[in-house]
Amino acid sequence: MASQSSSSVPPAIVAFATWVVPGSGYWLIGQRGRALTVGITIMILFILGLLIGGVRVVDVPPGVLSSPVNAVSQKPWFVGQILAGPITLISSSIGKGTEYYVSHARLNEIGTLYTAVAGMLNLLAIIDAAYRAGHNGAAR
């Protein structure tokens, strides 16, 4: 049996760590098994999305920093994708190259869906890990 976790890490740090590397917030609060399960699941789901639809399924909307509302209205799925962490920005910068083609039809949609669902699952992990950090491991 795993020992009861006692976290002295602030919930904000746990939440940020979970966004940067999915599952790492659980690791910080001492829940190693959960950290590996969540982290590996989210990363595999994101990578499968890239393999199915190609690296160009992750596309940063133009003007995301200057006009975020307009950018999100153009590509709302990016909100889900960016929640998966910096891997989204890395994938987007790699996909900007001319040697990559945009997939079409269902493959593009499925790849986009997988990457967005990975981000939404990471959002749930962020909320849960931060809650557990604030409540000393909370209900296991």
Write down the pLDDT at residue 1.
41
Write down the pLDDT at residue 103.
76
d(CA 114, CA 47): 9
pTM of the full predicted structure? 0.85
3-state secondary structure 36-53: HHHHHHHHHHHHHHHHHH
Write down the pLDDT at residue 12.
96
Q: Are 83 and 56 in contact (CB under 8 A)?
A: no
Write down the pLDDT at residue 138.
62
Write down the pLDDT at residue 85.
93
Query: To which residue do tokens 């869906």 refer?
Result: 113
pLDDT tens for each residue of the chain, 140 residues long: 444 445 589 999 999 999 999 999 999 999 999 999 999 999 999 999 999 998 888 888 877 777 888 888 888 899 999 999 999 989 988 888 777 777 778 998 999 999 999 999 999 999 999 999 998 766 55
